[in-house]
């Protein structure tokens, strides 16, 4: 089943999602929802999807960065972004418990701000504690692109969109991202757009 992904302007995207209780986590309906969110994310395609993006105000996100999503990217781009495949997993009630001081900036998009992208600074590394789909406690230390995905999805659970953190001068539609900016590194983009720190 494919779920409808709501777009910017829907109130649910701007509300802090509520935590899920143990009995809800073990409910077969939640397990079905996780499967539907996985299918919806893959169909989009995307690398993450949070429950508020499908209109549900609770602390649940799914993440998967499949190898085929980055097969057309140059090795230099993959290395710069520290991007590697991430297996499918669900995060329930996640919390960032540690962030690196070092930040990195790349173009970022969102299934709920369809058709657009912008430069967003995020911590290069994060440590996240969460419950998995079985209610077991998990802790992950992530860096690079995976850390970015985690921060993006956890932002959704707190009522934030990437546009709240973006470099405004870099905001672009996806057609122009491909035509003008995709083959440039971040320093070149910032110079071309006259962006200063």
pLDDT tens for each residue of the chain, 197 residues long = 899 999 999 999 999 999 999 999 999 999 999 999 999 999 999 999 999 999 999 999 999 999 999 888 888 888 889 999 999 999 999 999 999 999 999 999 999 999 999 999 999 999 999 999 999 999 999 999 999 999 999 999 999 999 999 999 999 999 999 999 987 889 999 999 999 87
Q: Give CA angle at 126 (123, 127), nearest 5°.
A: 165
Q: Show which residues are catalytic.
A: 153
In angstroms, how far apart are the furthest CA atoms of the chain?
53
Residue 197: predicted pLDDT? 74
**Closest residue by Cα to residue 114 from 34, 9, 12, 1:** 9
| Residues whose CB falls within 8 Å of the CB of residue 189, separated by 6 or more in sequence, listed in order | 107, 119, 170, 181, 195
**Cβ count near 69 (within 10 Å):** 16
Helix (H, G, I), strand (E, B) or coil at 112: coil
Helices (H), the chain: 22-25, 28-43, 75-81, 144-157, 174-176, 186-192
Task: Using alpha carbons, select from 87, 32, 98 the residue that is nearest to residue 65.
Answer: 87
What pLDDT was estimated at residue 75?
85
**CATH T-level fold of 11-192:** Peptide Deformylase (3.90.45)
Q: Please tell me the predicted confidence (pLDDT) of residue 183.
A: 79
| pLDDT score of 121 | 97
pLDDT of residue 196: 85
pTM for the model: 0.96
Whole-number pLDDT of residue 85: 95
100: how many CB neighbours lie within 10 A of its CB?
14
The Cα–Cα gap between 13 and 111 comes to 12
pLDDT of residue 77: 82
């Amino acid at each position: 089943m494919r779920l409808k992904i709501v777009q910017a302007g829907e109130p649910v995207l701007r509300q802090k999602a509520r935590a899920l209780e143990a009995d809800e986590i073990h409910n077969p309906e939640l397990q079905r929802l996780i499967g539907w969110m996985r299918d919806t994310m893959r169909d989009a395609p995307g690398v993450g999807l949070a429950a508020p993006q499908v209109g549900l105000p609770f602390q649940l996100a799914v993440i998967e960065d499949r190898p085929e999503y980055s097969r057309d990217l140059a090795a230099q781009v993959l290395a710069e972004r520290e991007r590697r495949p991430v297996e499918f997993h669900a995060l329930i009630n996640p919390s960032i418990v540690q962030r690196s001081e070092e930040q990195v900036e790349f173009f970022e998009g969102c299934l709920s701000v369809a058709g657009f992208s912008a430069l967003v600074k995020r911590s290069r590394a994060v440590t996240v504690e969460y419950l998995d789909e079985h209610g077991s406690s998990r802790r992950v230390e992530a860096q690079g692109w995976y850390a970015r995905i985690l921060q993006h999805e956890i932002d959704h659970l707190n009522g934030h969109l990437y546009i709240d953190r973006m470099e405004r001068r870099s905001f672009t539609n996806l057609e122009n991202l491909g035509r003008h900016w995709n083959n440039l590194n971040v320093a070149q983009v910032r110079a071309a757009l006259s962006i200063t720190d």
